[in-house]
Structure 1
């Protein structure tokens, strides 16, 4: 829906820019934020452990819940109704992305930065994970062309990779 909207609304925009705006709009943070505004977390049927650990306010679960709601609207009505619902709730995020206020993806920014002088191979390695299953912390490091750079941490591997990419980008730009 967002891809179609952007393509039709901004027909002269470069494909790469459309892709970035779409990604920034439909990212986990945006979808979870909409889910929170609709208070969807209070309607989730979760196990005792998941609820006790804050599952009804976890970004990944709330983002999935919003996507499920869109699917339910589409199945029970039609595409136009689902599209109207999506655009009603995500247009603000589209505008923020167009203004450059959303979608600060450090992995992409790092890739663009290091590859401006040619192709470079970026790899993220899991250093460790700690904590109980419901509250793990992951530690990841960045390697560029065989050289190890910064390590980052987060509640998921994806977040830890983003943190490592952010720290590496800051290190490289400070040189």
Structure 2
């Protein structure tokens, strides 16, 4: 694997990782999609019959399996929180995509398909982001602020770092 992209929901992980993989001519990997392939159902359907603990076990296994693949990996927002040691052991550059609270709220307000937003509301989501920030920062080698940048600008910024 070439790099791992982490960050809170709405930070742009999936879009930026797709662009970056395209520019590097490597495989784009989205951990949530890899998990769906592994469990054979959507994550929301999985949660209907299973606990978060069971999901996190599957997530950890799929994350470990992905370490041997070539490409750029976008994690889920919670992945780093439950897999600090796994990510550290991967010994890859970790890029944190970060954004201000207002930016996250604006982006998530346009995306109604997020069960956690519906459950916690915007204030709860921002509180969760603040709880996760310390671990995101601990794991990241590079922090890229995405507020006033297009996904392409963010991908190009990461590309410059990777090519150093």
TM-score, with structure 2 as normaliser? 0.27
TM-score, with structure 1 as normaliser? 0.26
